[in-house]
Amino acid sequence: MSHELVLVLDFGGQYNQLIARRVREHKIYCEVKSYKTPIEEIKAMNPKGIIFTGGPNSVYLDESPRMDKEILELGIPVLGICYGAQFLVYALGGVIEPAHDASLSEYGKTECEIDTSSPLFDGLDKNTIVWMSHNDYISKVPDGFKSIGHSVKCPYGAMADEERKLYGVQFHPEVNHTVQGFDMLGNFLTKICGCRGDWTMESYAETAIRDIREKVGDGKALLALSGGVDSSVACKLLAKAIGSQLTCIFVDHGLMRKNEGDEVEAAFADSGVNFVRVNAGERFLGKLAGVTEPESKRKIIGEEFIRVFEEEAKKIGKVDYLVQGTIYPDVIESGLGDAAVIKSHHNVGGLPDYVDFKEIIEPLRLLFKDEVRALGTTLGLDEKLVWRQPFPGPGLAIRIIGDITPEKVATLQDADAIFREEIANAGLDRSINQYFAVLTSMRSVGVMGDGRTYDYTLALRGVSTSDFMTADFSRIPYDVLEKVSVRIVNEVKNINRIVYDITSKPPATIEWE
């Protein structure tokens, strides 16, 4: 089953993922491609619409990214955003100029008056708030274009050649700060591109299951199951497609949250796949004994995980396919064209050479995290796994500052479980994007039962974020924090002080190590 497609052509913008997510939220399938994508390839994809992203460059400079203007002659509706709008103007003979006068630059929330007779702004409020971020400005639009939106400083805050269905906006409709931005994108997609919105997780699951069955045939597949949402959803999808032909190896390194290993095992007990749990806690803790440096902890755990995986994979015999939980942000963050590489994702790096894989299956590589969760729900995956809090591969090893001992792991598991339980009791477990406890290496004096204590300080962390690249600390109500604090100090040994981390990212990171 083929879906309607909208292409996001990336000029190095920081919001390329966000634009694609917003399109998908309208139930329209979308892919991010580099602006370097050949025209013939774009034609072959037959998109219903094209969106040009923003970017950090000035379009009039020789080294700036540009496409052949043939892209604007295909008869496909185009929406240019920020740099994308300026490229549209430049390619068609308009004029872009640098804002030598600082009064012509615009950053942040800006009042804009829009022409609601344009299909791009149909049904919206005439006066609206948008998010501007530009140094260059459009001083002359190409022939056939008119202004359909302006601010005090920007006469061409939005422009259109409605006959050719070419549109440009100087602001960013994809960010929440643009109050009616979601509806603007919806108008472009439905009223200008003519999309119906046929992208659902039900249809995705149906297509993916059929494709996996055709690919695997009577072969065998292997999945290293972490218990995280991505690998768990991949497992559930493969289970429906090929059942017992799939083997999942779940390595419990003893550094998971309280009861989490049992919860993962229970979730896949009746899944129809071969599920292998390896309890390797003592092995991992032995390797980590006396290690305090965070990066060393990560490397030790990563290497030992592979060693355990190798040993278990040998027992299975010949395996044809390796299944990975790669998701779309992994693909995008690894770099598109001239876009910055945020982090390279080597999901196969270090896997055993002796497993002769015919091919790698990545059934989630086109999905964003929220879509992965939606797919998990569609497939009937246990809700605890679908909404599992983001958890680093090294687990609690990097949430224990300093050396790791079995006693510290147990202490942190108990404290973290209370924190998560009270957040859920308060109904905040879906609104706080990530929350967890950290056992610090700091000890301080306290008084309990009229006696002196000298125990550890526990730090609580909660953040709000849409992309995990930036984050703000969550404003957890004081009464919830108080309940958490009282319970932990009274119910968990070796902790006598609780602090709450109110640092944003940047300058901090979400995790402490």
For residue 420, the model assigns a pLDDT of 96
Among 4, 31, 82, 371, the one annotated catalytic: 82
328-342, 359-373, 374-388: lowest mean pLDDT where?
328-342
Average pLDDT over residues 237-262: 92
Top mean pLDDT of 57-66, 412-421, 444-453, 464-473 is at 412-421
Prediction pTM value: 0.66
Average pLDDT over residues 139-166: 93
For residue 84, the model assigns a pLDDT of 95
For residue 188, the model assigns a pLDDT of 98
What residue ranges do the domains of the chain occupy?
5-192, 201-386, 405-500
Residue-wise pLDDT for 267-292, tens only, equals 888 777 889 999 999 999 999 999 99
Among 106, 174, 371, 422, the one annotated catalytic: 174
Q: Is 174 a catalytic residue?
A: yes
Among 31, 172, 371, 422, the one annotated catalytic: 172
Is residue 30 within 8 Å of 7, Cβ to Cβ?
yes
Classify strands 472-473 and 359-361 as parallel, antiparallel or unpaired: unpaired
Topology of domain 405-500 in CATH is: GMP Synthetase; Chain A, domain 3 (3.30.300)
Q: Is 421 a catalytic residue?
A: no
Closest CA to 475 of 426, 440, 508, 509: 426
> Does position 206 have pLDDT exceeding 50, yes or no?
yes
For residue 341, the model assigns a pLDDT of 38
Tokens representing 293? 């440096």
Residue-wise pLDDT for 325-336, tens only, equals 888 766 665 544
Amino acid 262 reads D
Residue-wise pLDDT for 409-443, tens only, equals 999 999 999 999 999 999 999 899 999 999 999 98
Confidence at 457, pLDDT banded by 50, 70, 90: very high
For residue 371, the model assigns a pLDDT of 87
> Does position 367 have pLDDT exceeding 90, yes or no?
no
- φ, ψ at 138 (rounded to 5°): -85, 115
Confidence at 468, pLDDT banded by 50, 70, 90: low
Q: H-type helices in 243-327, by residue range?
A: 260-267, 281-288, 294-316
Same fold, 5-192 and 201-386: yes
- φ, ψ at 356 (rounded to 5°): -85, 85
> Does position 485 have pLDDT exceeding 50, yes or no?
yes
For residue 346, the model assigns a pLDDT of 34
> Does position 342 have pLDDT exceeding 50, yes or no?
no
> Does position 203 have pLDDT exceeding 70, yes or no?
yes
Percent of the residues in the chain that have a pLDDT greater than 90, as a whole number = 56
Residue 314 to residue 309: CA distance in whole angstroms: 9
Is residue 455 within 8 Å of 407, Cβ to Cβ?
no
136-140, 155-159, 229-233, 451-455: lowest mean pLDDT where?
451-455
> Does position 450 have pLDDT exceeding 80, yes or no?
no
Question: What is the CA 229 to chain-centroid distance, rounded?
Answer: 12
**What CATH number was assigned to the domain covering residues 201-386?**
3.40.50.620
For residue 339, the model assigns a pLDDT of 43
For residue 136, the model assigns a pLDDT of 84
Topology of domain 5-192 in CATH is: Rossmann fold (3.40.50)
Residue 46 to residue 110: CA distance in whole angstroms: 36
For residue 352, the model assigns a pLDDT of 44
Percent of the residues in the chain that have a pLDDT greater than 70, as a whole number = 91
Across 207-285, where does the E strand assignment appear? 221-224, 246-252, 274-279
Query: Residues of 338-358 as b/e, b for ≥16 C-beta within 10 angstroms?
Result: bbeeeeebeeeeebeeebeee
> Does position 61 have pLDDT exceeding 60, yes or no?
yes
> Does position 87 have pLDDT exceeding 50, yes or no?
yes
Residue-wise pLDDT for 287-310, tens only, equals 999 999 988 998 898 888 878 877
> Does position 319 have pLDDT exceeding 70, yes or no?
yes
Q: In sequence order, what are the residues at sequence separation of 6 or more whose Cβ sits closer than 8 angstroms to the Cβ of residue 177?
A: 108, 109, 129, 130, 131
Confidence at 348, pLDDT banded by 50, 70, 90: very low
Confidence at 483, pLDDT banded by 50, 70, 90: very high
